Amino acid sequence: MASKIKVKVKLNGDVAEVKSLMMHPMETGSRKDPDTGATIPAHHITQLTFTNNNEPVMIVNCSTAVSRDPYFSFNFAGAKAGDTFAVSWVDNKGESDSTEVVLT
């Protein structure tokens, strides 16, 4: 399955500006199905890892209070064109997704 993570990295000198958007329902576990009244079980990303050339540049621990289809942005120094930048997440059901881009 194709990755549902979108990532854009803009190089500004040696500083990389990262913007990342991913598809995930981020169910809180307190919402009820309007038809059946049954509680919809929690389903959320627990940990996101951003790496540049396999070196972690950011780790995000998420609760259910992160909005559906999470968006994250941050900057890091020491990047250069040709670096491989990767994003991956795991969720509380053990599902995962990842993608990578080469910096230009």
Partner 1 sequence: MQPGRRLFIRGVLALAALTAVPRALLAMAWPANAFGAVAASDAMNELFGTSQSTPSDAITLGAPEIAENGAVVPISIETSLPDVQSISVIVDKNPRPLAVSFEIPPGTQANVACRIKMGETSPVRAIVKTPDGLFSTEKEVKVTIGGCGG
Length of the chain measured in residues: 104
How many whole angstroms separate alpha carbon 82 and alpha carbon 103? 5
Task: Tell me the closest approach of the beta carbon of residue 68 to partner 1, in angstroms.
Answer: 7
Closest distance of CB 58 from partner 1, Å: 6
Please name every residue paired with 101 in a beta bridge, in sequence order, or none if there are none.
Answer: 85
CB of 104 to partner 1, least distance (A): 20
Give the dihedral sign, CA 43/46/52/55: negative
What residue ranges bind partner 1 (CB under 8 A)? 15, 26, 28, 30-32, 34, 46-47, 49, 51, 54-68, 70-78, 88
